[in-house]
Amino acid sequence: MTEDEEYARSELYGVLSMLFYAPPSQPVLDLIKGAAIEGEGVLADAWRVLQAASSGIDAERARAEYESLFIGVGKAEIMLYGSYYLSGFLMEKPLVALRSDLARLGLERSEQLAESEDHFAALCDAMRLLHGNITTQKEFFGTHIQPWARQLFDAIDAHPGASYYRAVGGLARSFLEVETQAFDMN
């Protein structure tokens, strides 16, 4: 994998992290709308869908959708936490295993973040921070993201209130499918 490809992967993990941690601000929506994309393929297509969705929404509507889907009143309609999909509960054994792996890799949760380490955005951040170590990324991805991420994207796709986040989830799904294929080849 070239350095440019590694950088692009790292940047895409960063974009996904930002979009899943919180709703996009208007400047972020504007950046996505204006970002040039070259080439063809599933990632380019998914990016173009996200660009179209970013053109058709403002920050207030994106915030309302984010809160409706991922925060909710009482309980979120769609969970962004790996332990929920892997065990059916939050803060369970998958989170303990993840914390152990993060400690082994020298990564720790920022005290400024309220979300636990198994939040999808936090896992994207971890992959971004593991930039350049493809073997470690492959192991981390296969253990902590791949086993459950499709369920998250399926939940987003199926939710009648998802519009903008259906496009975000589509980009994430396409990217993780490409990642899976690339890791399988290594």
Q: Would you state the pLDDT for residue 37?
A: 84
* The pTM of the whole model exceeds 0.85: yes
Instruction: Dihedral sign for Cα 24, 29, 30, 31, please.
Output: positive
Q: What is the three-class DSSP state of 32?
A: helix
Q: Would you state the pLDDT for residue 83?
A: 93
**Which tokens in the block code for residue 72?**
């909710």
Q: Would you state the pLDDT for residue 11?
A: 94
pLDDT in tens, 130-159: 988 889 999 999 999 999 999 999 999 999
Phi-psi region of 70 (alpha: psi -120 to 50; beta: other; left: phi over 0): alpha
Residue 167: pLDDT over 80: yes
- Give how far Cα 39 sits from Cα of 43, 44, 52, 181, Å: 9, 7, 17, 19
Exposure of 153 by Cβ count < 10 A (0-12 exposed, 13-18 middle, 19+ buried)? buried
User: What are the φ and ψ backbone dihedral angles of 171, each rounded to 5 degrees?
Assistant: -65, -45
**Which tokens in the block code for residue 96?**
């303990």
Give the N- to C-terminal CA distance of the chain in Å, as an integer. 10
- Looking at residues 115-143, what average pLDDT do you find? 93
- Looking at residues 52-80, what average pLDDT do you find? 94
Separation of alpha carbons 50 and 167, rounded Å? 5
| Chain centroid to CA 111 | 20
Per the CB < 8 A criterion, the answer to whether 82 and 148 are in contact is yes
Per the CB < 8 A criterion, the answer to whether 120 and 149 are in contact is yes
Separation of alpha carbons 162 and 178, rounded Å? 23
Could you give all domains of the chain from N- to C-terminal order, each with its CATH number? 3-185 (1.10.3480.10)
Q: Which residue has the higher pLDDT, 68 or 8?
A: 68
Beta bridge partners, 113, equal none
